[in-house]
Amino acid sequence: MGQYLEQPLSWTNGLIFAGAAVALLGIVLFFVMYAIFFQRKILGWMQLRIGPNRVGPWGLFQTVADVFKLLLKEDIIPKKADKALFIIAPVLAFVPSFLVLAVMPFTENWHFADIGGGLLFYLAISSLTVIGVITGGWASNNKYGLIGAMRGAAQMISYEIPLVLSVVGIILMTGSLNLIDIVEKQQSMGVWFAFAQLPAFIIFIIAQLAELGRSPFDLLEAESELISGYHVEYSGFRFAFFMLTEYVYIFAMASLTTVLFLGGWSPMFGLDFIPGIIWFALKMGAIVFFIFWLHATMPRIRIDQLMKLGWKVLIPLALLNIFITAIVKTAFM
Amino acid sequence: MAALYANNYLIVAIFLFLGILLPVGALTFGRLLRPHNPTTVKRETYESGLEPFGSSWVQFNVKYYIFAIMFVIFDVETIFLYPWAVAYDQLGLFALVEMLIFIALLVIGLIYAWKKKVLEWN
Amino acid sequence: MGAGKELRTEEMVLNVGPQHPSTHGVFRLVAKIDGETITEATPVIGYLHRGTEKLGESLNYTQIIPYTDRMDYLAGMTNNYMMVHTVETMMGIEVPERAEYIRVIAMELQRFASHQVWFGTYLLDIGALSPFLFAFKDREKILGLLNELSGARLTFNYMRIGGVKWDVPEGWLDRVKAVVDEMRVSIEGYHQLVSGNQIFLNRVKGIGVVTQEDAINYSLSGVPLRSTGIKWDLRKDMPYSIYDRFTFEVPTQTSGDCYARYVIRMEEMTQSLNIIEQALKQFPQGGEIMGKVPRMIRPPQGEAYTRIEAPRGEIGAYVMSKGKDKPYRIKFRRPSFANLQILPKMLKGASMADMVAILGSIDIVLGEVDG
């Protein structure tokens, strides 16, 4: 993609861009299907079960069957719901989740838009999803949905701040918001930001789990309290789009963590004959596995404790991290 | 360089278009496949198996909105840190001290909110 | 919150249940909530009412036993015992020693299995998935043992007035011993997985506090009573069957919160295993499993109430006999029902998330609440 970006725009190039974007969409959808499948398998193994094993060999087509099932399900819109908002909410939630991938570099050559403010773009766009969540919950005119949406909004916006603050340390060290520059900086330093910016890494991981709404921060769904929170009234393919959004975000967030903290596509242990894209996939897979692993291990935190952790622990820590990074950088310059 | 710039945002536009196309397309296509048979009972709002009392569109507790206001304040302040962090190498010591004052202001704001018990959930 | 005072907030009335994953059956709670804080909660019960007591009036005494299985369906063995114990007391029937040992082993296995279900579902309420599956997988082994003994896995109908229905199968006692050893390892695993988890501790410590005074006034029994520091266990304080022959501890806590109830139940599981081990050691060689029972069971005219310590608290049967083969009136003291009464008081001011933790910590079974 790199070379096409430098050329002036033509119809051919435009079609290449569009084709590549469609290909990425295909990859993401494939990822989502198999991430759900592997989540169920991994959870199964961790819980001494087999997991899905009926559809296809080794249960491999289970999620495919689930997608078709959802496609064939009746789409029920409650009588009391705000119909227009109800219909639009899954789209509002899904669009930003895919849009953020436009700036994600997978290797030095395999990337899409190479925007100067790539990181800012990601953070800005990803925070739009909360609008989809709150619209869906409110439009359902369901009390569980409303509480779930309110919780979701409070949680997602509160953890946005530590997330955004924690990466300032990286920007300070790199001097750029461009995601490719950030990876190249890690290559030239010879150390990942996961180690060079360890406090930021920890804050980022916690805040990212809260942004994704994954265990132990799965309060907006909280099936034992709110049944399933903001999407309780959704059925069929509209529900599927909320689900899809969640997993596309796992893809995006795991990619972003890889790029920011784990050196992106740069090889480990000097094994540079293995292509960068494989390294990227491995590191991203490790993060996705970590997220699923937590799901099998952790109880759910309570909303007031979540807010306390975010505002009283993570934000001061993130500010302190910026402070220290700036001073250390000045002292060594 | 100008071409590069335009190309990048063309890609963003393509992604935006695809992001809208997929749900709209899938839901439109799904209409051909899925049954459509709404009944009164089916379209009732779910509330643990009973008819719900009243509407859920009520004046909801304010503490949720106070967090939203806090978010706007902090997020906007945070955005100022980004250009500073990017241009840090060129700015030197003066900018460092200035930004430390700025962060201190952020911290004071946080402490104020903390003392005012805005950060308490209950 | 100073700024919020002028603003008007509307309360919402929320139905929790009967179709809700955390109400452990068809229980309904009408909660008035302000934001997520519960200002008032009213339990609504009766969705599973089958009229066991009324049914009992038209059945003879042996026929009532299977109905007791279906009250607290997680503790069929103790319920069976509660029923037969009352009739035996009324008629003065001697139960052979071998039968008593079998009963005690079965009841303690049952108590263990019941607490396992509680452990799994409680953690599920709090949002952890895996302990549920671990606990149920281990419980299968105990249900397997009880199945060998009685031919059923849940509704045993095993005890009879004067003894038990079947003698222990060949090699069963050795298998019990093996399972007891396995369960000790399992409990260790539960502790490692859950007991030290900071998120879990934050969710249960200081939540749903019951004072000693309230516990007595609301007639709590079992674990909710012991969690307030009152050492009251009928196996120890009013020994029935052969419980006076075993040494075991009655764990208590003083904080009266959900965590206290968690700690006590976990400890009781270990104590149950201790009792089973002692019972296996003392188990008599040979002997009858049924005492001398008249052909027709007709307790003499009069009334009797006996009570025993079930996994959920004090369960008792009050039987009034007119000298016929059917009771004139039968009444069960159902611990889940009695313990549930304090719920509105505990829920006042709690949050939605605490509601689930508090309700779970009482450990109700809806079959028993509704009778």
Task: Name every chain B residue with its beta carbon within 8 A of the beta carbon of A140.
Answer: 45, 56
Smallest CA–CA distance, residue B53 to chain A, in Å, is: 10
pLDDT at residue C227 above 60?
yes
On whether any CB of chain B is under 8 Å from the CB of A74, the answer is yes
Give A151's contacts (C-beta < 8 A, 6+ positions apart): A219, A220, A222, A226, A229, A303, C36
Check C19 against B56: CB less than 8 A apart: no
CATH number of C50-370: 1.10.645.10
Window from A216-230, A269-283, C4-18, C291-305 with minimum mean pLDDT: C4-18
Nearest of C76, C67, C90, C46 to residue C325 by alpha carbon: C90
Task: Name every chain A residue with its beta carbon within 8 A of the beta carbon of B59.
Answer: none
Task: Say which amino acid occupies A312.
Answer: K
pLDDT for C290: 86
Q: Quote the CA–CA distance of C36 and C16 in Å, as a whole number.
A: 13
Q: How do beta strands C28-34 and C37-44 pair?
A: antiparallel
Token pair, residue C343, equals 């719920």
Token pair, residue C247, equals 């040494």
Smallest CA–CA distance, residue C264 to chain A, in Å, is: 20
Q: Quote the CA–CA distance of B77 and A200 in Å, as a whole number.
A: 19
Q: Quote the CA–CA distance of A183 and A110 in Å, as a whole number.
A: 13
**Which chains have at least 3 CB atom pairs separated by less than 8 Å from chain B?**
A, C
Best residue of C29, C126, C355 to probe chain A, by most A CBs closer than 10 Å: C126
Task: Name every chain A residue with its beta carbon within 8 A of the beta carbon of B121.
Answer: 303-304, 307-308
- Give the nearest partner residue to C125 out of A46, A224, A227, using CB atoms: A224
More confident residue, A119 or B49: A119
Q: Quote the CA–CA distance of C329 and C327 in Å, as a whole number.
A: 5
On whether any CB of chain C is under 8 Å from the CB of A302, the answer is yes
Give C283's contacts (C-beta < 8 A, 6+ positions apart): C98, C101, C105, C173
Percent of chain C with pLDDT over 90: 35
Token pair, residue A80, equals 């009391």
Which H or E run contains C40?
A: strand C37-44
Q: Quote the CA–CA distance of B93 and B114 in Å, as a whole number.
A: 31
**C contact residues 101-130, partner A, Cβ 8 Å cutoff:** 123-130
- CA-based torsion, B43, B49, B50, B54: positive or negative: negative
Closest chain A residue to C128, measured at CA: A299
Task: Say which amino acid occupies B19.
Answer: G
In order, the DSSP letters of C319-333 are EEE-SSSS-SEEEEE
Q: Quote the CA–CA distance of A74 and A95 in Å, as a whole number.
A: 23
pLDDT for C112: 93
Window from B37-51, C106-120, C246-260, C349-363 with minimum mean pLDDT: B37-51
**Which chains have at least 3 CB atom pairs separated by less than 8 Å from chain A?**
B, C
Go through C171-196 and write b for each residue having 16 or more CB atoms within 10 A of its CB, e for each that does not.
Answer: eebebbeebbeebeebbeebeebbee
For the stretch A67-93, pLDDT in tens is 888 888 888 888 888 889 988 899 988
Closest chain B residue to A170, measured at CA: B85
Architecture per CATH, domain B2-115, reads as: Up-down Bundle (1.20)
Q: Quote the CA–CA distance of B50 and C96 in Å, as a whole number.
A: 52
Q: Name the average pLDDT for chain A.
A: 85
Give B59's contacts (C-beta < 8 A, 6+ positions apart): C7, C8, C9, C10
pLDDT band of C4, cuts 50, 70, 90: very low
Task: Say which amino acid occupies C181.
Answer: D
- Give the nearest partner residue to A224 out of C22, C33, C351, using CB atoms: C22
Give C4's contacts (C-beta < 8 A, 6+ positions apart): B62, B63, B66
Residues of chain B falling short of pLDDT 70: 1-4, 59-62, 121-122
Token pair, residue B33, equals 């496949």
Which H or E run contains C64?
A: helix C61-69
Domain coordinates of chain C in residue numbers? Answer: 50-370
Best residue of A72, A98, A104, A173 to probe chain B, by most B CBs closer than 10 Å: A98
Helices (H) and strands (E) in chain B — how many of each? 4, 0
Q: What is the arithmetic mean of pLDDT over C102-129?
A: 91
**A contact residues 169-228, partner B, Cβ 8 Å cutoff:** 171-172, 175-177, 227
Q: Considering only CA atoms, give the Rg of chain C.
A: 21
For the stretch C23-53, pLDDT in tens is 777 888 888 888 778 888 888 888 888 888 8
Smallest CA–CA distance, residue B25 to chain C, in Å, is: 34
Structural contact between residues A167 and A204, judged by C-beta atoms closer than 8 angstroms: yes
pLDDT at residue C6 above 60?
no
Helices (H) and strands (E) in chain C — how many of each? 15, 8
Paired with C300 in beta bridges are none
pLDDT for C7: 54
Task: Name every chain B residue with its beta carbon within 8 A of the beta carbon of A235.
Answer: none
More confident residue, C64 or A223: C64
pLDDT at residue C279 above 80?
yes
With tokens 């998120």, the residue in question is C199
Check A146 against B60: CB less than 8 A apart: yes
Q: Quote the CA–CA distance of A143 and A229 in Å, as a whole number.
A: 9
Task: Name every chain B residue with its beta carbon within 8 A of the beta carbon of A178.
Answer: none
Check A73 against B24: CB less than 8 A apart: no
On whether any CB of chain B is under 8 Å from the CB of A328, the answer is no
The ipTM estimated for the assembled molecules is: 0.82
**B contact residues 70-109, partner A, Cβ 8 Å cutoff:** 70-71, 74-75, 78, 81-82, 85-89, 93, 96, 99-100, 103, 106-107
pLDDT for B62: 67
pLDDT for A6: 67
Which segment, A153-157, A217-221, C242-246, is predicted with the most confidence on average? C242-246
On whether any CB of chain A is under 8 Å from the CB of C209, the answer is no
More confident residue, A323 or C103: C103
pLDDT for C2: 43
DSSP 8-state symbol, A59: G
Q: Quote the CA–CA distance of B87 and C116 in Å, as a whole number.
A: 60
Q: Name the average pLDDT for chain C.
A: 88
Reduce the DSSP state of residue A1 to 3 states and report it.
coil
**Share in percent of chain B as helix, strand, coil (round to 5):** 70, 0, 30
pLDDT for C3: 46
DSSP H helices in chain A: 2-6, 11-46, 62-72, 83-99, 118-126, 129-139, 143-166, 168-174, 179-189, 193-196, 198-212, 223-226, 236-261, 276-297, 303-308, 315-332
For the stretch A136-166, pLDDT in tens is 888 888 888 888 888 888 888 888 889 888 8
On whether any CB of chain C is under 8 Å from the CB of A224, the answer is yes
Task: Name every chain B residue with its beta carbon within 8 A of the beta carbon of C35.
Answer: 60-61, 63-64
Check C9 against B64: CB less than 8 A apart: no
